[in-house]
Amino acid sequence: MSDLTESEIRSFQQARGLDVTGFVDAVTARALEEARWKLGDRSLYLQESPLMRGDDVAALQARLTEMGFDCGRVDGIYGPRTEAAVKEFQKSVGATVDGKCGPATMIALIRLTKIVSGGAPSAMRQTATQQSRGPALANKVIVLNPDGDDQLVYDVAVRTEGRLLALGASVFLTRGATNNPSEQERIAFSNKSGADLMISLNLDTYANEKAHGAATYFYGSDAHGVHSIVGERFASLVQREICARTDLANCRTHAKTWDLLRLTTAPTVRIDLGYTTNPGDLSRISRPDFRDVIAEALVIAIQRLYLAAEDDAKTGTLRISDLRKAGIRR
């Protein structure tokens, strides 16, 4: 690590979907450790915490997915779903079914060619699952994550919660007004709740007060060649609705590999609702009526995610009252 130049560190961070800082922090150090493993360097198996991580695990997951074995998201983490997919593969090729990717299983993987075509299987599964849930919000479980202990994003979460509850959705907040769980606790909470979506709300800061605007992030890794299809689409809907209804600058959507996006089972987005270090952004988010507009934009984006193309509407035109009139409350 010490041999890397600042430019090389920045390039690595950019490619891995990390915050580009130019120095090796704990997250970058972990990513560098994961990047050094290539498929075949070691045997892979499910172990007690910490789970095995690495580019070799991601390569294994991608290979299994190509052949139609469901190991879930290609995230480079050897968890229970990856072990189950390895066992299914071993069963299909007549190998010892132990859930471990050792030399014999590796040879079988190398010899076999793809048996799935016509699109990425994991993407097709994600899309099919989302579509099978239907357009009504009444059977959806939404987790709202007001990041940190900021009261403004907590207020946005509460306003969004009220609107979603009125449309019949089940809504859970990862924290109350005064507590501040760790990120790992929030991830575990969302996974345990069986969420359909996880929405993290955040206010950013920057040394230069001129930095301003809204941005939305979803899980994606250019290094592993994977993106959360539903997460990416939802991020686009959120970003477009917010920017159509407010005068926040559009800082676009971005793929990241942050733990919140990577380890949360449900499609997850993080929304930066502006910069508290920018006087204009802070003035906007401090207004209750502005936070109402943000809450409505979020609810409409959630609804649009589940609407069929023929039932969708132009960005910025749908209102919650329209959803009630259309009878898709339940």
- Mean per-residue pLDDT for 224-249? 92
Q: What is the pLDDT of residue 118?
A: 45
Q: What is the pLDDT of residue 322?
A: 61
Q: Kindly report the pTM of this predicted structure.
A: 0.81
Q: Check: CB of residue 219 under 8 Å from CB of residue 227.
A: yes
CATH topology of domain 39-118: Muramoyl-pentapeptide Carboxypeptidase; domain 1 (1.10.101)
Q: What is the pLDDT of residues 34-78, one digit of tens each?
A: 999 999 999 999 999 899 999 999 999 989 988 889 888 889 999
Domain range summary for the chain, segments of one domain joined by +: 1-36, 39-118, 128-325
Residues found in the chain: 330
Residue 97 phi/psi, 5-degree rounding, is -90, 95
> Has domain 128-325 been given CATH number 1.10.1370.30?
no
Q: How many other C-beta atoms are found inside a 10 Å radius of the C-beta of residue 174?
A: 23
- Mean per-residue pLDDT for 73-86? 94
One-character DSSP codes across 106-153? HHHHHHPPP---SS-HHHHHHHHHHHHT-S-STT-EEEEEE-TT-HHH
Q: What is the pLDDT of residues 150-167, one digit of tens each?
A: 899 999 999 999 999 999
- Quick check: 130 pLDDT over 80? no
Q: Check: CB of residue 263 under 8 Å from CB of residue 185.
A: no
